[in-house]
């Protein structure tokens, strides 16, 4: 059970109610985030942009997200993004190995680099010079920035989930975990 109750959507300001009406009400993080009335529409848009509008390869993005969830101890984040990872075609053995990280033999060199980069950013606050140099040779400046921002965003999401102890949905109410396309309004 979450540490605080989910907000009563009917008690939100009309504009927030209108925005929330476009969000899947069966996803618990989406149910909790409206407490942050002025932030939650922008949070949705930013998350949606990470999931749908980046140059970073979707498989590598999900590897970074799930690995961040593992490192931050966020069962919810790992669960939702394992589902997204499977949906976009990540091999089951790679999804399982994300708990182990870059030392697993199932990953190729680029995937290991992304996981090493993720581990260092989450654990140390930044990638080491050696890891960053290797990543800079492999990825464009845009991809490097997106990877770093994705890791940071999901560190924040994991902290939100874990601090408020947001519980997993039951299978009937769960979705694939993807953020909705919420546009600019």
Rounded CA gap, 182 and 185, in Å?
8
pTM for this prediction:
0.92
Angle at 81 between CA 3 and CA 56, to 5 degrees: 130
Q: Which domains does the chain have, with CATH numbers?
A: 55-163 (1.20.1290.10)
Rounded CA gap, 175 and 80, in Å?
8
Residues 6+ apart with CB under 8 A from 144: 135, 136
Tens digit of each residue's pLDDT, the chain (185 residues):
999 999 998 998 998 889 888 888 889 999 999 999 999 999 999 999 999 999 999 999 999 999 999 999 999 999 999 999 999 999 999 999 999 999 999 999 999 999 999 999 999 999 999 999 999 999 999 999 999 999 999 999 999 999 999 999 986 445 544 444 444 33
């Amino acid at each position: 059970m979450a540490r605080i109750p989910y907000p009563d959507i009917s008690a939100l300001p009309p504009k927030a109610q209108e925005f929330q009406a476009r969000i899947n009400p069966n996803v618990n993080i989406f149910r909790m985030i409206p407490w942050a009335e002025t932030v939650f529409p922008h949070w949705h848009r930013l998350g949606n942009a990470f999931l749908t509008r980046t140059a970073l390869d979707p498989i590598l993005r999900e590897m970074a997200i799930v690995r961040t969830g593992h490192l931050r101890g966020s069962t919810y984040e790992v669960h939702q993004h394992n589902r997204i990872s499977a949906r976009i075609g990540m091999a089951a053995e790679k999804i399982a190995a994300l708990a182990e990280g870059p030392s697993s033999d199932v990953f190729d060199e680029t995937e290991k680099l992304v996981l090493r980069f993720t581990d260092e950013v989450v654990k140390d606050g930044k990638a080491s010079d050696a890891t960053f140099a290797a990543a800079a040779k492999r990825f464009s400046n845009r991809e490097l920035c997106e990877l770093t921002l994705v890791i940071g965003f999901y560190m924040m999401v994991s902290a939100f989930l874990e601090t408020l102890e947001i519980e997993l949905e039951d299978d009937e109410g769960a979705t694939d975990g993807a953020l909705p396309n919420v546009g600019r309004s």
